[in-house]
Amino acid sequence: MDLLKDVLFNQVAVIELETKANEYKKLVEKYTKEFNSLPAKSLKYARLDRERQVNDKLYMLLKTKYQESRISEASKMSNVRIVDPAIPPEEPVKPNKRLNLILGLLVGLFLGVGIAFIREYFDRSVKTAEELQSYGLSAVAIVPEIDVKTALERFQKISRDPESEEPLKARLVTHYDPKSSVAEAYRTLRTNIQFSSPDKPIKTLVISSAGPGEGKSTTVANLAITFANLGKKTVLIDADLRKPILHKVFDMQRDPGLTHAIIGSHAIDDVVKKTEIDNLSIITCGEIPPNPSELLASYKLSSILGELREKYDVVLFDSPPVIAVTDATILSTVTDGILLVVRANKTDTRALQRAVELLSHVKCNVLGAVLNGVSVSGGYGSYYYYYHYYYYYGDGHRKKKRAKRKKRETRAY
Ligand SMILES: Nc1ncnc2c1ncn2[C@@H]1O[C@H](COP(=O)(O)OP(=O)(O)O)[C@@H](O)[C@H]1O
Ligand SMILES: [Mg+2]
């Protein structure tokens, strides 16, 4: 029994072990199978592993480079720091308009003042009546500048000849425009001459100037008209034997004239010509001689003058400039006085000084000077107006005007 039992037991064990063996066989088969597929996988693995190694190396290389570049970057930037970020300006930096404007203004101002100073420094012309006094000349009158255009219009109206283009005749503003301020100035001149020496009235007078073109002929012609207008028998003599002009101004024949009377070819009455103005006569210059100074210095001229003195209340002489020739100086010794015409802003102070010096060498009576051609619109205009009103209103207004004048003068200078 025991044996059977052992057999049975062993049989069961065999079956059990066979089953196990089968199971193991299956496992072996499975593993064999798996094992057989291993070479392909290992190949793939080996390939991938190589790839990994390469990538590993590449990665390491790149990382090294990156770190290197970071280090070099950090080392370069080491001494540079942004302390304060830049702020972009809202307005353009250049051009600085305000600065340029101020600079321009200053430069312009200095330039203007500088030029004014330089001009003033080099301008040696006489400008004011006060300047005349520094040469020992009293300002007998101040004659404003004649507005030639207006004077010509007036002349054309009165002469009833609208086509007339004679600026020469238009100079006689005292006749054609007696109400003008220029005529008023000439009347002032007349008044001042009359009152310059009340005891011994000026009957014979020479008008001259330092240089040419200062207004001798214009002044003497207008002065003669104002004397004639006053009812004085006046004779105007063109003793500028070098550049005679009065015959043209009064529209007359030049011959016969003064030179004819001096050389004795004509009697004095034959050379005196009446004008359209009452009480005014003219002696034109006559033939222009080669030796005017000798003729004027002749005894004959003195006797002619004596004769004219008898017949006329006022005898006026136009003459050449004092500096150029001696004619005016000679005449001044035989007449009651000499008046110098000074053209404002034109007459050179040195020339005027020389003229005064030349006249001081002879025995003559220098009445003073007429400041001619003073600009009315300019700074000195106000100065002239003072004179204008002064004589126009007479005594009653003098004080008021004098006060006003002082104010104006302080403003003008
Ligand atoms: N007050 C004045 N205003 C404007 N022009 C004047 C004045 N006086 C003179 N003139 C002008 O000056 C120029 C010279 O004048 P003129 O009397 O012939 O001078 P002169 O006889 O001294 O040579 C002329 O053209 C004249 O018209
Ligand atoms: Mg003249």
**Ligand 1 center from residue 305 Cα (angstroms):** 27
**Do 237 and 304 meet the contact criterion of CB atoms below 8 Å apart?**
no
Report, in angstroms and rounded to the nearest whole number, the Rg of the chain calculated over CA atoms.
Answer: 60
266 — pLDDT class (breaks 50, 70, 90): very high
* Mean pLDDT along residues 94-109: 92
Residue ranges and CATH numbers for the domains of the chain are 129-374 (3.40.50.300)
Residue 405 has pLDDT above 60, yes or no: no
What distances in angstroms separate CA 142 from CA 134, 192, 376, one per listed residue?
A: 16, 11, 11
**Percent of the chain's residues with pLDDT above 70:** 87
| Of 50-54, 228-232, 398-402, the least confident | 398-402
* Mean pLDDT along residues 130-143: 92
pLDDT at 412: 37
Task: State the ligand closest to the CA atom of 243.
Answer: 2
Task: Report the number of secondary-structure helices (H) and strands (E) in the chain.
Answer: 18, 8
Query: Between the CA atoms of 28, 32, 34 and 40, what dihedral angle is there, to the nearest 10 degrees?
Result: 170
Instruction: State the amino acid at position 93 in one-letter form.
Output: V
| Of 10-19, 170-179, 187-196, 328-337, the least confident | 170-179
Q: Which atom of ligand 1 is nearest to the CA of 321?
A: 22
What distances in angstroms separate CA 331 from CA 18, 208, 319, 348, one per listed residue?
A: 181, 10, 8, 23
**Ligand 1 center from residue 262 Cα (angstroms):** 28
Q: What is the pLDDT of residues 138-166, one digit of tens each?
A: 999 999 998 877 777 777 777 665 555 56
Q: What is the pLDDT of residues 198-247, one digit of tens each?
A: 788 899 999 999 999 999 999 999 999 999 999 999 999 999 999 999 99
pLDDT at 160: 62
Task: State the ligand closest to the CA atom of 239.
Answer: 2
Residue with token string 């190396």? 57
**Percent of the chain's residues with pLDDT above 90:** 64
Q: Show the ligand 1 pocket: residues with CB < 6 angstroms.
A: 143, 145-146, 171, 209, 212-218, 245, 372-373
Which residue, judged by its Cα, is nearest atom 13 of ligand 1?
213
DSSP type of residue 127? -
